[in-house]
Amino acid sequence: MIALVDYGAGNLTSVRKALSALGADYEVPTDPAQLARAAGIIVPGVGHFAATASLDRGWRRSILECVRAGVPLFGICLGMQWLFEGSEEAPELAGLGLIAGRCTKLEDRSAEALRTNPEGLRAGDKIKVPHVGWNSLAIPRPSRLLADVTAGAQVYFTHSYAAPVTTECVAITTHAAPFAAAVERDLVFGVQFHPEKSSDAGLRIVRNFLDVVQAHHRVP
């Protein structure tokens, strides 16, 4: 069973639809103790990092215990940012800390400069924030999460803050400056974009996570 964590941060319906389309068995737990029988955990979310405050000490403890026990974890959009140490959007709140680094606001440069000169933008150039719409993935290394997803695949974003490119980064997108579009560390996975809204490439990514869950399934 996949545990789909609902902490009031949106996009639960679209993730449910994607899981149903792929034939996945999932539940939305109402208590962190219910995570004990999960084979995999998905933490979705959109909006402000402050929403992660709803994932209180009980949820954090249960999720971390599951990860230590070998349960795959998948963060989507805000859920991916929560995997890091924190975000400038709500600096008083700690992230889960499974991946080092903090999320920062996308640089304020012009969309025209981004389109015409993405590798050498001038000081004072501006882009649109939030970053909303389709953008491509650069894939620097092989990844279980991105298996059979081709470099340059287009996926759908909507965000104002982004995670840094670190050693855990398995996909990079550039919106004025490069940021981590997908991360993978052991059985911890995350994507900044919305795979459930990213057509075939997005469904492939969700299926890849489900395949990892199946491969590491444990009986509680």
Positions annotated as catalytic residues are: 77, 194, 196
Q: Specify the amino acid at residue 161.
A: Y
Distance, CA of 40 to CA of 154 (rounded, Å): 26
